[in-house]
Amino acid sequence: MTDAGTTLPTPAQAPAGSPVPGSAARTTKLAIVGAGAVGSTLAYAALMRGAARTVAMLDVNRAKVEAEVLDLQHGIQFMPMAKVEGSDDVAVCAGADVVVVTAGAKQKQGQTRLDLAEGTIGLMRSILPGLVEVAPDAVYVMVTNPVDIVTYAALKFSGLPPERLFGSGTVLDSSRLRFLVAQHCGVAVQNVHAYIAGEHGDSEIPLWSSATIGGVPLLDWPGIAGHPPLSEDAREEIAHEVVHSAYRIIEGKGATNYAVGLAGTRIIEAVLGDEHRLLPVSTLLDGDYGIDDVCLSLPTLIDRRGASERVEVPLSDAELTGLRSSAESLRAVARRFGL
């Protein structure tokens, strides 16, 4: 890993504990590939949360990346100290600790994530070797859709070990699930622990049997303060809404950006902060639940090494069947595109 934050703050700008000019203290660097709706919002979220000292953006559209960077630079005074840079040259990503890939065509109205597969697989084949050359030690987080297929392809094209390249998976879907459960039950979203597993897409499965609210198994939740318990119908409605809400957002404003930007930032913080945080990211399965050679999401330990270990959550029979059929449908898509 190299010394990433090359421009140091002046003494007047530098907060306590930050490197002073002339010191060789190492700082963290986040590279974001794709300065579109997702990449730019992710940059903003990461900067606002002080996730990395340097944020570098790469996009083939030079005018766009320069404009996004300039706009972000003008806001640095109001953020935790950071440096933002951008270019259409991959060298801007040199020495990054984390590389987040958001480059690719966005879903259009009526398109599923899998409709994007062919174009994005080709894109990964062309951009990954150059990225790995300039940032060989980074942890890579794929966000581009269809994220599970893109992650599987990116592992092949990059040659990186599976713990160092994974997809944002169902971190976003799980936060949508938690929001809807919290709303239904009248509790804070932070009290809900529940994961979506499988594909980031139509075949994903909510893991109801292991979900809890404030330590109470969700399936035993009694209901409080005028909010009914989660009946089977209510759970089905919520699961449907989780899968379809992205389509609704795209219909209304053309892209989803805020929640995915925050979800991506959460993953980056878990890596850079060596947090040992369990997040449902998409990794290459290796016999888990009898499934292998496919990337999909399961709760996984995220730390400075990357996606270091998956956790075998107890599954109901229906959840296990759902997970296996999600794996089958992802594997069929990968094969269709020659992966």
Ligand X SMILES: NC(=O)c1ccc[n+]([C@@H]2O[C@H](COP(=O)([O-])OP(=O)(O)OC[C@H]3O[C@@H](n4cnc5c(N)ncnc54)[C@H](O)[C@@H]3O)[C@@H](O)[C@H]2O)c1
- Residues numbered 31 to 60 that lie near ligand X (CB under 6 A) are 33-39, 58-60
CB 55 within 8 A of CB 43: yes
Binding segment (CB under 6 A) for ligand X, from list 6-14, 139-147, 180-188, 236-244 = 139-147
**Which 153-192 positions form the footprint of ligand X (CB under 6 A)?**
168, 172
| 260 is a site residue for ligand X (CB under 6 A) | yes
CA distances for 279 relative to 63, 93, 120, angstroms: 35, 25, 24
What is the distance in angstroms between the CA of the first residue and the CA of the last residue of the chain?
A: 31
Q: Cβ(261)–Cβ(42) under 8 Å?
A: yes
Which residues, other chains included, contact 320 with Cβ-Cβ below 8 Å and sequence gap of 6+? 289
Site string for ligand X, 265-304 (x = CB under 6 A): ----------------------------------------
Among 13-21, 102-110, 221-229, 326-334, the segment contacting ligand X (CB under 6 A):
102-110
Catalytic residue among 200, 240, 244, 276: 200
What is the spatial distance between Cα 267 and Cα 272, in angstroms, rounded to a whole number? Answer: 9
Rounded CA gap, 268 and 150, in Å?
19
Task: State which residue, 80 or 241, has the beta carbon closest to ligand X.
Answer: 241
Nearest to 138 by CA among 90, 100, 86, 171: 100
Is residue 102 within the footprint of ligand X (CB under 6 A)? yes
| CB of 33 or CB of 82, closer to ligand X | 33
Confirm if 323 and 317 have CB atoms less than 8 A apart.
Answer: no
> Smallest distance from the beta carbon of 279 to ligand X, in angstroms?
12
Q: How far is the CB of 204 from ligand X (least distance, A)?
A: 11
What tokens does 287 get? 């016999």
How many residues bind ligand X (CB under 6 A)? The answer is 30
DSSP of 266-318, one letter per residue?
A: HHHHHHHTT--EEEEEEEEEEEETTEEEEEEEEEEEEETTEEEEE------HH
Residue 106 is a binding residue for ligand X (CB under 6 A): yes
200 is catalytic: yes
Phi, psi of 310 (to 5 degrees): -85, 150
Residue 144 is a binding residue for ligand X (CB under 6 A): yes
Q: Which is nearer to ligand X, 35 or 238 (CB)?
A: 35
CA dist 6 and 26 (Å) reads 9
Which CB, 38 or 327, lies closer to ligand X? 38
Binding site for ligand X (CB under 6 A): 33-39, 58-61, 64, 102-104, 106-107, 116, 123, 127, 143-145, 147, 168, 172, 200, 255-256, 260
Catalytic residues: 200
